[in-house]
Amino acid sequence: QIQLVQSGPEVKKPGASVKVSCKTSGYNFTYYGVSWVRQAPGQGPEWMAWISTYHGHSNYAPKFADRITVTTDSATSTVSLELRDLISGDTAVYYCAREDNWLDPWGQGTLVTVSS
């Protein structure tokens, strides 16, 4: 079956960077892009970025464009998100999701906690 399995929880200090990985399986990796979405406690989802797993082209939400990088590794069918210059407001659950216009399925989520 189609699965997106994310890396484990992270605790970071303000100003640090975090990298979250998303390993996919069960489908042809390069046929679908992958989006990253985060959800702060008690809030709705917030889209952050999309990457084409075919040619690596990415599209970032303007809010994150200056401190986010999304990469793809076809050899391991893995997409990664790096977020830099973390602040307390970045504390959230980060999800990857396969995108075929709509987002399905989603990874299990990775909790990133930013605290001094």
Residue 83 structure tokens? 């977020």
Helix ranges restricted to H, the chain: none
Instruction: Tell me the closest approach of the beta carbon of residue 40 to another protein, in angstroms.
Output: 12
Instruction: Tell me the closest approach of the beta carbon of residue 69 to another protein, in angstroms.
Output: 16
User: Quick one: 54 or 109, whose CB is closer to another protein?
Assistant: 109
The amino acid present at 112, given as its one-letter code, is V
User: Quick one: 25 or 74, whose CB is closer to another protein?
Assistant: 25
Instruction: Tell me the closest approach of the beta carbon of residue 13 to another protein, in angstroms.
Output: 26
Distance CA 98, CA 108 (A): 12
- Beta strands 110-114 and 10-12 are parallel
Instruction: Tell me the closest approach of the beta carbon of residue 16 to another protein, in angstroms.
Output: 25
Sites of contact with another protein (CB under 8 A): 35, 37, 44-47, 50, 59-62, 95, 101-109
Closest CA to 109 of 41, 60, 51: 41
Whether 66 and 45 have beta carbons less than 8 Å apart is answered as no
